[in-house]
Structure 1
Amino acid sequence: MTKSIHFELSFSEPQAHYVDVQMMIEGFEDQEYIDIKMPVWAPGSYLVREYSKNVERLNAKNTEGNSLSAIKTAKNTWRVHNPKGKLVISYSVYGFEVSVRTSFIDDSRAFLSPVGTFMYVDGYLDLETSVKIHLYKSWNKISTGLQKISEENTFYAPNFDILFDSPIEIGNQDTWSFDIDGILHECAMVGPADYSKDQLTEDITKIVREENKIWGSNPNDYYVIVTHNYQNGSGGLEHLNSTILAASRFGYSQPSAYKNYLSLVAHEYFHLWHVKRLRPKALGPFDYEQENYTTGLWIIEGFTSYYDNLIIRRCGFFDETEYLQKLAVDFNLVYNRPGYLLQSAAASSFDTWIKQYRPDENSQNVAISYYNKGAMHAAALDIKIIAETHGAKRLDDIMKAAYEHFYLIENRGFEEDEFQALAEEVTAVNLDGIFKAAHSTEDIDYNSYFNLVGYELVNQADDQDHQSLGIKIGSNEGHTVIKNIDRNSAAWKAGLNVHDELIAINGHRIEINGKALDYILSHSEEGEKVKILISRDGLIREIEVELLTSNKKSFSIERMTNATEEQRRLGNIWLSL
């Protein structure tokens, strides 16, 4: 008998944040039992999130409606014995976490993260499936990348990889569609916000066309952009033919915030090619039960982080100064974390499962982000290629060639050495130094690249001489407390701790605004000793701290005043519209 799996979703208690799931299974009579599993992580968000923790009231029945044994054998696995005839697995999923990667349900809407909603039969991820959605009484819209196959709100997925990569927004979202060069795009705005449909349509069209130029073709005929509008929102998650974004509802009328939103659109849309199709070997086919390790996130996320703002520049939304300010942010974020001396971009990629999404008070001392460091490496690659080919080639040519070779022709993931080899073949430029730097904590001279195109990386803090404890402070129930301490800073060496309450410095009361602290530091010399009164776990003590000059960086990227005509020409190619 042909094996089949179908789902039905309903909402008997949306106000309590539940979706009810029925999983209909047929064709497994030849097996003594089947294992029903739920993924533990979401592709594109590299953290084991234990989605099965939200599953409740799971039960199994056979064709006659009799209950079957469904024994939980692991954190995300239920074993059903004697799977004869048509089985119905029923369960409820609790969803009340606001993010682009987790389900959220209330009486106004439901956002369903598919990896945390749908289960699969172990060993049968390749089975096609369908999902029928019963709308709650006050809802009237469904936005998803899944193919609709009936007017009864039934959708089709050719396999579970597609199902798990197709989030579903249900409710009364504001939707509109528009065609971009033969590809239908749907925008779904969730929640009130001050956006203009016409402006968004025009600007998203520019972004899509600019990205199509890079890749040469677009693999979709339908693409969905769902934006969750919050009081304060940010972030996004890419999918095969859709993306989920989070934005601030009043940001669309603010030029800076709106451009940041467009950059987010550019970032997630770029992933349509770069990660969803062109990808490291480790990232597909997926193992949904455990970590999928790769050192290559600096390429797929870092390069995408380089391109998002560059595309906004090419579209004309950023002027040159705005773009360079955005690029300088990556350098400031990396170089103001002592962890850049301990962790490479590749190591950051590999350790994403335990560090990137689980920051703590010491994270800045031990880790960097492959997003920022990868973007820095991508900038160096782009500039080096432009300079050494005299403007004939750039990073765009590598991306297009890699997409065509690894995805369109060979339909497989790449190893990093293969990616580098192809890049060097396409450009005839030796890129070994930058690729090796991605696997090393030894720094490279980025100005040796920027100077090639008439720009320079300038540390504006070089001439500043002010003392620092090397801490970040915050408020905890009205008390001024230490939130972070930089490695090898004055506070680090003196033995101040995170969570210490700061009471006084040199006899002056420290308020949450930090005025006394700032005043003392600004009127002190390096090597001078100050006495800080603290409370640690309710015990009062005084700690003497020897001050050190701040080593914080403040980078900007500027045009060289003595650039040659050729450098200026190449720089114009780099930042051309």
Structure 2
Amino acid sequence: MKKIFATLFFTTIFLMNSNTGSAAGTEKINYTITFPEAQAHYAEVEMTISGLNQKTLDLKMPVWAPGSYLVREFTRNLEGFTVSAGGKELPVTKTRKNIWHVSTDGLAAITVKYKVYAFEVSVRTSFIDADHAFISSPDFFIYPEGMLKNASTVKIVPYKGWTTVSTSLEKVNGDTFTRTAPEYDILFDSPIEVGTQDVFSFKVGSTDYEVAMSGGGNYDKERVKKDFTRLIEEEVAVFGENPNKHYTFIIHNYLKGGGGLEHLSSTTLGATRDGYTHEGTYQSFLSLAAHEHFHLWNVKRLRPIVLGPFDYDNENYTTNLWIAEGFTAYYQDIIVRRTQLYAPQNYLDLMARQINQLENQPGVKVQSVAMASFDAWIKAYRPNENSNNTTISYYTKGAIIAMMLDLEIINNSKGKNSLDDVMRYMYNEYYKGKKRGYTDAEFKLALEKFAGKSLDNFYARYINGVTDIDYNSYLAFAGCKMTDELAGSNSPALGITMVANTRRVIVASVLRGTSAWDDGINVNDEIITIDDKPVDSKEPLFGDKKVGDKIMVKLIRDGLEKTIPVTLKKSATVKYKIEQLPNATAQQMAVRKKWLTLQ
């Protein structure tokens, strides 16, 4: 944001996101980051705090990064922690995994020094090598307790050959290597890329956009700018305004990459370096960009009430990630569809794949989407070999629920309203009006307002329950129908997934209720033969076997050979396809036209 804009804007964000506590004091906080051993993945941080007037001070580091709901224990990558004053080192007591206690009685200023090891490739953690540094602020910056509202300045001393800094943080006196944050909620929500990244810019309305491409790639700058512009225009139309004066896309290009993390005025994306000329890969990239950019409204401003002010020491629980992430997952594809960048059937195929993903997980009958949201901290980011049997993705089911609600609202309002109106209403009512987040009950009331009906039964069945979804009752609003292409199949299945990239048949997971589950095949078993015939992961396992046949499975478990009799059951896998019916009524065609943005 420009400085002339910052005062009003950050006052609003302060009300939304900053932790409770005393107003910002007179203390001054400055960081200097150097990279004397970038080739070994290290940075050195020097933090100075001046204007102190207190007897003791606790220095803290977040244990999680907003937008990524897992306690990641960032202090595990810190070393060489010291505190000094006047050139003399002070005693420090570590009182918690992320807290250092120091006596500051009689001291006006202290200097804190530590090293950060950064070698984890992801959009939510820092990474440093001789080519570039990606600084994910929560795992990099220690802060003084009670001073979350204080401003801070970050000075970057680049490694040899590094010329460029990309971040949404404002420059200090026009110096690209010195940036400032008005408070810690802004600093922790502003990643920093340092290196030789390729930077190009464009403007959408009154908002300046910067794209920082790191790692090379076969991207076409003009095409990216044009397509990003179309995505952004469609998303701005949903909410009626763009709250940013500038926005930064930090894009890391890898041999094979993906994933993204949203921030208040920026995002970090992972992409496939040479995937920009492959239409399928490029469309997935656009969907990812649309997803993370949509978050600048949904989550970063319009948010569940518990997601701000943040508690950086502990989990922040909500049952509404199916809205925060799931609705965003819905919009990422419907937004791309609205740009006409791919055909309506492409979009329907994407939604069918999401439904297949959900319905082929036995966990769909175990975990509700509300509980998937709440348990993100312990389950979503820590999957194991049994996760498919016990959990679902709040992204996937949330996107499906958003589709269902969108269709119902469009139908019930005879095309006057859609889910867009709910999002715009909530943004204006809670972020801009009440200057706070929403409760579960408040979002439900808004959905009911535009659906024109009570959603008590909908919530009981599909949000808080695990009732089978009646997809066709919703798709029928748009004259569409979903069918299972495998419905007539009577093929047997063992019910396992196999370890990838090997011809050996090693069990990676066993699905609940299948042949393997019932008869005792385990994860990590290596299947050697079936009925004395050697097996190969690249070949069919059963040949001409039928449902009900008994097979003898020879395997190795923990170095011991076993033979297990298995009775083959019918495959429970579904493969849905959504089609547009040719004989749709005028009402159905009106809903379809609005939903799929038909021209």
Residue 456 (structure 1) aligned with residue 481 (structure 2): yes
Q: Distance in 2 between matches of 1:217 and 1:408?
A: 12
Q: What letter corresponds to residue 526 of structure 1 in structure 2?
A: V
Unaligned runs of 5+ in 2: 1-24
| 2:589 aligned to which of 536, 549, 568 | 568
Alpha-carbon displacement from aligned partner over 1:475-529 (angstroms, at most 9, x marks no partner): 68864211111001000000010000100001101123233x142xxx2222110
User: Please, what is the CA RMSD of the aligned residues?
Assistant: 1.3
Do residues 59 (structure 1) and 82 (structure 2) align?
A: yes
- Range with greater deviation from structure 2 (528-537 or 119-128): 119-128
Q: Which of residues 117, 122, 127 in structure 2 aligns to 1:104? A: 127
Correspondences of 1:25-174 after superposition (within 5 Å): 25-31=49-55, 33-62=56-85, 64-82=86-104, 84-152=107-175, 153-174=177-198
1:211 deviates by 0.5
**Deviation, structure 1 residue 131:** 0.8
| Per-residue deviation, 1:434 | 2.9
Find out whether 1:12 has 2:36 as its counterpart: yes
Q: TM-score, normalised by structure 2?
A: 0.93
Matched with 1:532 is: 553
1:29-61 Cα shifts (integer Å, max 9, x gaps): 322x11111101010000111111001101011
Q: Which residue of 1 aligns with 2:438?
A: 414
Work out whether 1:384 is the aligned partner of 2:405: no
More moved, 300-309 vs 564-573: 564-573
Match of 1:465 among 472, 477, 490: 490
**Contact 1:301 1:374 (8 Å CA) reproduced:** yes
Q: Tell me how far apart the structure 1 counterparts of residues 505 and 568 of structure 2 sit (CA, whole Å).
A: 20
Partners of 2:445 and 2:500 in 1: CA distance: 51
1:439 is aligned to 464
Name the SS of the counterpart of 1:371 in structure 2: helix
- Structure 1 counterpart of 2:516, which letter? A
- What is the alpha-carbon distance in structure 2 between the residues aligned to residue 565 and residue 216 of structure 1? 30
The structure 1 residue matched to 2:202, chosen from 155, 178, 195, is: 178
Query: Once the two structures are superposed, what CA deviation does each residue of 1:121-173 show, in whole Å capped at 9, x if it has no partner?
Result: 11221111111111122100000010111244211111100000000000000
Corresponding residue SS for 2:499: strand
Q: Give the counterpart letter for 2:425 in structure 1.
A: A
Match of 1:326 in 2: 350
Pairwise mapping of residues 484-563 of structure 1 onto structure 2 (< 5 A)? 484-515=509-540, 517-519=541-543, 523-563=544-584
Task: Tell me the secondary structure at the aligned position of residue 318 of structure 1.
Answer: coil
The code of the aligned residue for 1:266 comes to A
Matched, 1:265 2:289: yes
> How far apart, in 2, do the equivalents of 1:337 and 1:136 lie?
47
Whole-Å separation in 2 of the counterparts to 1:250 and 1:179: 26
- The range that moved more, 367-376 or 121-130, is 121-130
CA distance in 1, matches of 2:29, 2:542: 64
Report deviation, 1:463.
1.1
The whole-number CA distance in structure 1 between the counterparts of 2:181 and 2:391 is 39
Q: How many residues align?
A: 571
In 2, distance between residues paired with 1:324 and 1:426?
Answer: 24
Q: Decide which of 212, 217, 240 is 2:264's aligned counterpart.
A: 240
CA distance in 1, matches of 2:125, 2:542: 41
Deviation at 1:27, TM superposition (A): 2.6
Partner Cα separation in structure 2 for residue 490 and residue 440 of structure 1? 27
**2:273 pairs with 249, 259, 262, which one?**
249
SS at the partner of 1:199? Answer: helix
Distance, in Å, in 2 between the alignment partners of 1:530 and 1:331 is 32
Please list the CA deviations of residues 194-220 of structure 1 after superposition, one character each: whole Å capped at 9, or x if unmatched: 001111110000000011111000100
Amino acid at match of 1:534: L
- How is 1:195-210 mapped onto 2 (pairs within 5 angstroms)? 195-210=219-234
Q: Quick check: 101-110 or 119-128, which moved more? A: 119-128
Q: Kindly indicate whether the alpha-carbon contact (under 8 Å) linking 1:377 and 1:434 is maintained by their aligned counterparts in 2.
A: no
CA contact (8 A) 2:166 2:194 kept: yes
Q: Assess if the C-alpha contact under 8 Å between 1:128 and 1:158 holds in 2.
A: yes
**Secondary structure class of the residue paired with 1:220:** coil
State whether residues 503 and 536 of structure 2, in contact with CA within 8 Å, keep that contact through their aligned partners in structure 1: no
What letter matches 1:277 in structure 2?
Answer: R
Q: Is the 8 A contact 2:327 2:399 kept in 1?
A: yes
Q: Residue 526 of structure 2 aligns to which amino acid in structure 1?
A: E
Residues 243 and 269 of structure 1 are in contact (CA less than 8 Å); yes or no, is this contact kept in structure 2? yes
By how many angstroms is 1:108 displaced?
0.9
Call closer, same or farther: CA 1:92–1:283 in 2, change over 3 Å: same
Q: Residues 213 and 20 from structure 1, CA distance in 2 versus in 1: closer, same or farther, beyond 3 angstroms?
A: same
Note if 1:351 corresponds to 2:375. yes
In structure 2, C-alpha distance between the alignment counterparts of 1:307 and 1:2, rounded to whole Å: 43
Q: Distance in 1 between the 2:238 and 2:361 partners?
A: 33
Normalised TM-score (structure 1): 0.97
Q: What is the CA–CA distance in structure 2 between the aligned matches of 1:490 and 1:325, rounded to whole Å?
A: 30
Amino acid at match of 2:389: N
Q: Secondary structure of 1:323's partner?
A: helix
Taking the aligned partners of 1:56 and 1:43, their CA distance within structure 2 comes to 24
Point out where structure 1 has 5 or more consecutive residues left out of the alignment: none
Deviation, structure 1 residue 353? 0.7
SS at match of 2:267: strand
Is residue 207–residue 315 contact of structure 1 (8 Å, CA) maintained in 2? yes
- 8 Å contact from structure 1 (residues 398, 427) kept in 2: no
How far the C-alpha of 1:70 sits from its partner, in A, is: 1.6
Contact 1:381 1:434 in 2 (8 A): no
